[in-house]
Amino acid sequence: MKKLISILVVAALIAVFLVAAVFAADDPQIIISSAEALRGDEIRLSVSLKNNPGITNGKVEVVFDETNLELVEIDLESESTWRGMMDTYGKLVNFVTTSDTTKDHLMFEVVLRVKDDAVGGDHKVGLHGQLMKNNA
């Protein structure tokens, strides 16, 4: 019998590149949705930018436990509301836009597969912001 595997999320990535009050409700955040899956299942996680202060370009790396999960794809087209150029290099997403928008955005979706020999339990998926800028 397949055992349920929970995919937990690093709920938010606080943008350290901005001057803001610590733990303020309107701090910029990159948020990943959560999901539950069985061994062998694929899961789709949404990556969204909330409280956007006008970010125009950056790099974000998707990080996860590669002994239990494998990357199927980073989907830049599905339902993205980010308007600009995006590209992927393995687990790294580069993005740039010419608009200085402060709207919240669905940036991209990450599709992961739970490996057939995955250990049951909670597995974290997170983001590592390598570079974020507001060039406007």
- At 13 the pLDDT is 32
- At 130 the pLDDT is 75
Confidence of residue 136 (pLDDT cuts 50, 70, 90): low
Mean pLDDT for the chain overall: 76
In the 3-class helix/strand/coil scheme, how is 35-67 assigned residue by residue?
EEEECCCEEEEEEEEECCCCCCEEEEEEEECCC
Q: Any residues with CB less than 8 A from the CB of 126 and at least 6 apart, and which?
A: 9, 10, 13, 32, 62, 63, 64
- At 135 the pLDDT is 62
Task: For residue range 97-121, list pLDDT tens digits in order.
Answer: 766 677 788 888 999 999 999 988 8
DSSP 119: P
Whether residue 91 has pLDDT greater than 80: yes
Whether residue 87 has pLDDT greater than 90: no
- The residue-averaged pLDDT of 42-68 equals 88
